[in-house]
Amino acid sequence: MSEVGTAQDPQDVHVTVQRVWRDESARLVGALTRMTRDLALAEDLAQDALVAALQQWPRDGVPDNPAAWLMQTAKRRAVDSFRRADTLRRRTTELGQALEREEVEMPDLDAFVDHIDDDVLRLIFLTCHPALSPESRAALTLRLVGGLTVPEIARAFLTKDATVGQRISRAKKTLEGESIELPVGQERERRLDDVMGVLYLIFNEGYTATAGEDWARPDLCAEAIRVTRMLAEVAPQEPDVHGLVALMELQASRLHARSDADGRPVLLEEQDRSRWDELMIRRGLTALERAMTVSASGRPMGPYVVQAQIAACHARAATAAETDWHAIADWYDLLAHLGDNPVVQVNRAVAHGRAYSPEDGLAVLDDVADHRALAGSHLVDAVRGDLLARAGRHAEAAAAFDRAASLTGNEAERAVLTARATAARSRS
């Protein structure tokens, strides 16, 4: 088997390079970080290999094993880099010996099989280091693990390229000197929560954008799901990781039905459920079953498993009228006991309002409405408006929807809330 294939059209090769980079960059950077013990250098070497591919593959053809080619090229650049640094001659010898021990016969990657999963997991844990802010964790994770470019990340979070670049640069500087080894014991469990929190933050930003004209950003959801599946492969005994996969899959199954042909948002109870993605639902339910199996073996059930159970209640209902709101309310009661999360309480108010009465929902909402974490958020007023409208208090509902519309930064969501305010006023 030859190292390279037949020459191809440059445009086709460029698309192939992009696909390979998206699929393999996390493994490549992770392995190079392990070898060099330097995250910044590892990313530079990976980028050098990418540039080499863009230059050579259109001329020589795409290799039979593109991932192995990138790894081998990056390793050679690593050796050259250390050889050029006179002050690092000792490290040149050590690195050379390490690389020789892990030498790969092109195009076979079998020698790396024992390291690949650990390398990716190590990289995820590193990018989600607790010393970083949530925004920096998300940006660095998408950059190194998700393979997104700085402009892509900036578009995803509706911010400037320079802002994202600065976040990533500062994050890398913060991580200088930090151990790249996988945390163990309680430290690993604490870090795992950070990892899952970042991935869910990324997914939620895709599911309902916090600002801008788009109601959702499906590409961002897809990236979060891809990386979380990766995490589940390398942390198979953690039920909440499988729960997070299930939650994302089940929620993402509704993406196509969340807007109409004109791009206007469609609320859950009004969605055409035939447009829900059945494959994603099956995958989500399978991941949830795996989470419950692992939990039954002695691992505690976490909040993502409970949230996945709530999403499953919606997924199993053929129509909105068949939704088991009593079960959802029970799951939200359990979720509220697992931690002090004001957003959970807001959603719990919705569930109690549907399962029992609007007044029950309002009582739950009143208990959390003044929580400082919700200051400036539109969520409380949006839910209050819905519950008041269901209680027949339409004038109060209109006022609540107006307040919610003034607080949201998402244009599509503002349009929905404004329309609901108008409808409530007409009924009052």
Summarize pLDDT for 307-333 with one digit per residue, the tens: 999 999 999 999 999 999 999 999 999
Percentages (nearest 5) of helix, strand, coil residues in the chain: 75, 0, 25
What mean pLDDT, rounded, does the chain reach? 84
Taking residues 97-110, what's their average pLDDT?
A: 49
| DSSP string over 131-157 | TS-HHHHHHHHHHHTS---HHHHHHHT
Please tell me the pTM assigned to this model. Answer: 0.71
Residues 6 or more apart whose Cβ sits within 8 Å of residue 118: 34, 182, 234
Exposure string of 317-333, with b = 16+ CB inside 10 Å and e = fewer, is: eeeeeebebebbbbbbe
Q: How far apart are CA 411 and CA 386, in angstroms?
A: 19
What pLDDT does residue 178 have?
Answer: 78
What pLDDT does residue 375 have?
Answer: 83
Q: Is the pLDDT of residue 214 over 60?
A: no
Banded model confidence at residue 108, pLDDT cuts 50, 70, 90: very low
What pLDDT does residue 116 have?
Answer: 42
Q: What are phi and psi of 147, to 5 degrees?
A: 75, 15
Torsion of the alpha carbons at 392, 393, 399 and 403, rounded to the nearest 10:
-70
The proportion of the chain whose per-residue pLDDT surpasses 70, expressed as a percent, equals 86
Q: How far apart are CA 235 and CA 62, in angstroms?
A: 33
For residue 93, the tally of other CB atoms under 10 A from its CB is 11
| DSSP string over 82-129 | HHH-GGGHHHHHHHHHHHHHT---TT--GGGHHHHHHHHHHHHHHHT-
Q: How far apart are CA 368 and CA 384, in angstroms?
A: 12
Q: Which of 35, 160, 146 is nearest to 101 (CA)?
A: 35
Task: Cite the DSSP H helix spans in 297-324.
Answer: 303-316
Residue at token pair 């500062």 = 170
How does pLDDT run across 235-274, given as a tens digit for each residue? Answer: 888 999 999 999 999 999 999 998 888 778 888 999 999 9
Q: What are phi and psi of 212, to 5 degrees?
A: 95, -175
Cα 301 to Cα 102, 159, 175, 213, 237: the distances in Å are: 39, 36, 31, 37, 12
What pLDDT does residue 101 have?
Answer: 60
Of 99-113, 390-404, 414-428, give the lowest mean pLDDT range: 99-113
Q: Kindly state the tokens that stand for 266.
A: 């469609």
Q: How far apart are CA 141 and CA 147, in angstroms?
A: 9
